[in-house]
């Protein structure tokens, strides 16, 4: 049985996609799509084909023939003076198209009106948390420690602590060379639910690179409030390493367990590297079993619990 048919059999109501993006370029300002095109400098390679609207119909098409029961929309780098506007727009999309199920928006932990922006987000009954990226170094061996917005910036940490008091979740997105530092920050906020994006971005699949990634993942897995998304396995230049992805998934599940991992498509960005059948096939191989209970956890139940769906 092919991977997608297997999941449709185990989850006839449909999977939960725990991370995707939508945008309508006429509805908002997305600088990375409309102005500051990075081209080949983007870590997953040229993304010219993303510079168009991406709607629920496109998401369903790209996930076909998988059925969708619910999804988590994650902020799409919309202009930072339109943070709450993005959440309101997603509410309108949901009312029209039935998806996304819940929303992860954006707020900067350095902005002085953090509480007011969160209050505006929370006017949406589907709002569950934020993705707010710390400043990170461009490559392993480089350091931004102490820079404004970095994981060591005291002002940024104070903003994260203020955010944690709101009872929302934080989607953490850093490359593998910052995972151990992120674990130090998260350990100081034991009540904060944290969802690590994209398996910690293991962009270096050499033995040395994977060893560094593994050390960071072990540090985060030791913190019970951290879960992780099995998503975005693309490599620099739009490459997809299927065997390496199988290994990354297997090691991630071994560290975090079935009940702390969740599948996520990261569409449409993941399409720069591979289509969904190829990605899902690698994830299923990494899980190492067709056990229905495990598949239901990874492709539905964990996301429903973590995002309070």
More confident residue, 205 or 40: 205
Structure confidence at residue 304 (pLDDT): 98
CB 183 within 8 A of CB 223: yes
Structure confidence at residue 36 (pLDDT): 80
Residues of the chain with pLDDT > 90: what percent? 95
Give the tokens for residue 242: 């299927």
Q: What is d(CA 181, CA 177) in angstroms, rounded to the nearest whole number? A: 8
Residues 153-201: tens digit of each pLDDT: 999 999 999 999 999 999 999 999 999 999 999 999 999 999 999 999 9
Continuous segment of H or E residues that includes residue 9 = helix 3-10
CB 239 within 8 A of CB 273: yes
First and final CA of the chain: distance in angstroms? 30
Give the tokens for residue 206: 């050499």
Q: Is the pLDDT of residue 132 over 90?
A: yes
Residues 6+ apart with CB under 8 A from 18: 71, 72, 195, 229, 231, 262, 263, 264, 302, 303, 306, 307
pTM of whole model > 0.85?
yes
Structure confidence at residue 211 (pLDDT): 98
Q: Is the pLDDT of residue 62 over 80?
A: yes
Residues 7-46: tens digit of each pLDDT: 999 999 999 999 999 999 999 999 999 998 888 789 899 9
More confident residue, 41 or 255: 255
CB 134 within 8 A of CB 150: yes
Confidence of residue 2 (pLDDT cuts 50, 70, 90): confident
Residues 6+ apart with CB under 8 A from 225: 186, 190, 191, 192, 193, 194
Confidence of residue 290 (pLDDT cuts 50, 70, 90): confident
CB 198 within 8 A of CB 216: no
Total H helices, total E strands in the chain: 12, 8
Structure confidence at residue 7 (pLDDT): 95
């Amino acid at each position: 049985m092919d991977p997608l048919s297997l999941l449709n059999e185990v989850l006839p109501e449909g999977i939960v996609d725990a991370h995707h993006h939508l945008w309508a370029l006429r509805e908002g300002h997305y600088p990375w799509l409309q102005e500051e095109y990075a081209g080949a400098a983007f870590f997953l390679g040229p993304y010219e084909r993303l510079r168009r609207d991406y709607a629920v119909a496109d998401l369903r098409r790209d996930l076909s023939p998988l059925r969708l029961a619910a999804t988590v929309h994650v902020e799409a780098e919309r202009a930072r003076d339109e943070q709450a506007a993005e959440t309101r727009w997603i509410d309108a999309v949901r009312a029209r198209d039935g998806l996304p199920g819940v929303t992860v928006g954006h707020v900067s932990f350095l902005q002085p009106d953090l509480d007011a922006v969160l209050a505006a987000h929370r006017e949406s009954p589907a709002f569950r948390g934020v993705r707010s990226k710390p400043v990170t170094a461009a490559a392993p061996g480089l350091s931004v420690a102490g820079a404004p917005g970095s994981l060591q910036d005291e002002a940024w940490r104070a903003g994260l602590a203020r955010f944690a008091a709101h009872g929302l979740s934080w989607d953490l997105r850093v490359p593998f060379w910052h995972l151990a530092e992120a674990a130090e920050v998260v350990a100081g906020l034991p009540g904060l639910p944290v969802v690590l994006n994209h398996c910690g971005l293991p962009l270096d699949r050499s033995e040395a690179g994977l060893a560094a990634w593994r050390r960071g993942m072990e540090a985060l897995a030791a913190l019970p409030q951290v879960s992780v998304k099995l998503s975005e396995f693309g490599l620099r230049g739009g490459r997809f390493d299927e065997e390496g992805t199988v290994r990354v998934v297997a090691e991630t599940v071994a560290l975090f367990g079935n009940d702390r991992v969740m599948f996520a498509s990261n569409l449409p960005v993941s399409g720069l590297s591979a289509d969904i059948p190829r990605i899902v096939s690698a994830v299923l191989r990494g899980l190492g079993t067709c056990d229905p209970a495990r598949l239901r956890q990874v492709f539905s139940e964990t996301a429903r619990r973590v995002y309070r769906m």
